[in-house]
Amino acid sequence: MKSHLIKEEIKQLQIRYREILLKAKDNIFNDDSIAVIDEINVFWYKNKKLIELFLKSFLQPYNAYVFTAATILDVEDFEHYPFVTLGKFHIWDDPIYLYANIAGKAQNSTFDEKIKKQIIDTINDTLKIIEIADEIIYILPLRFLANDSSQLLHDTAMEVFLSLFNNDYSFKEYLENIHSIEDVKHSLRPGIENSIIFLKNEDSKLGFEKRFAKYKDSTVLPIPKDVSDAKIFWFAIVGYLMQALDVINICTRYQVNPYIRFEVTFTYMLILSINFKDQKEIQEMIFKSAIAYKLHMNFNKDKVKNIDFKRFYLNIQKLDFDNMLFSKLKEQEVTIDSRNAKLADEIIDDLLESLY
């Protein structure tokens, strides 16, 4: 199929998905909610081959960015502006199918209600993306397409988790021997507790136990409230590891760059990327992701609120901002190994000023 025909098929796919979301928004928690959830899953499953054809034959390798590991893109907070600043193509990794499948299955009623609200928020935000950024940001569920790797991701995350400890525990032995968060800390390999984060904007000066307590107090989990701290710690860290591994998996599989806003997932992805030091392709992908993360952190959204989004996007493409930025970084010898974060910030800030 020719590239212009593939693009047109994807455009029509977005229109059809909008109709499904509008229906879901009205009916997802009525008596027929299961049918609505199934319709979302069936829709993506039926169109899986078309989406994979688009990803593999239409997109150039690592020339697209995928906004992933997030519950909403957040159009109301102008998050779509920094997102389209890098790359030629932009994909929102639709998580609605994931949340829809979780709803009603949690062992914690508070978590279940939170998920239900999240589904509605995500649907509303996705509808706004289709309305405001059609043919600029494509709604495609990459994690859904790659869910055949879920068991491997879980097994790998468990292996990484158990490697954090001094003893060569099995998971059963971990649960039998470790109970309190103090037990966890004393069982970790020396210095590991300093690399573990639980929440965004975490105060690194706080002790390990206090940081865990903040996470436990502020996070609604889908597990019973009376489980041990050791099990909560396992749930948190394995969850973060699986999310980071999932990002690396889908992005290498489809040769796209991860655009990550969530500090915790980004940090664990960087930690895990050390295992791919000898793989140039993955290191370059991680570098592009790191620059995108810095750009997002430095981007002044207040300065673009009065700029029409499509005009902003066309200006980005006209300037070839992506090439400008990475050429400047290369010129100044900023690489993933140079660790010159301050210089990278200065280059990003200087070029961003030309956009406002």
Per-residue pLDDT of the chain (356 residues; tens, 9 = 90+): 677 788 899 999 999 999 999 988 887 766 555 667 778 888 999 999 999 999 988 889 999 999 999 999 999 999 999 999 999 999 999 998 777 666 656 566 666 677 778 888 999 999 999 999 999 999 999 988 887 778 899 999 999 999 999 999 999 999 999 999 999 999 999 999 999 999 999 998 899 999 999 999 998 888 887 899 999 999 999 999 999 999 999 999 999 999 999 999 999 999 999 889 899 999 999 999 999 999 999 999 999 999 999 999 999 999 999 999 999 999 999 988 877 889 999 999 999 998 98
Give me the residue label for tokens 């899986």. Answer: 48
- Among candidate residues 181, 234, 177, 179, the one with its CA nearest the CA of residue 209: 181
Number of neighbours of residue 59 by Cβ within 10 angstroms: 20
Beta-bridge mates of residue 249: none
Residue 100 has a pLDDT of 62
Residue 97 has a pLDDT of 78
Residue 222 has a pLDDT of 80
- Among candidate residues 194, 191, 216, the one with its CA nearest the CA of residue 206: 194
| DSSP-derived 3-state class of residue 188 | strand
Domain ranges of the chain: 3-148+250-352, 151-240
Which pLDDT tens digit goes with each residue over 83-132?
Answer: 999 999 999 999 987 776 666 565 666 666 777 788 889 999 999 999 99
Residue 84 has a pLDDT of 98
Say how many CA atoms lie within 13 Å of 166 toward its Cβ: 12
Q: How far apart are CA 142 and CA 66, in angstroms?
A: 9
Q: How far apart are CA 127 and CA 116, in angstroms?
A: 17
Residue 270 has a pLDDT of 94
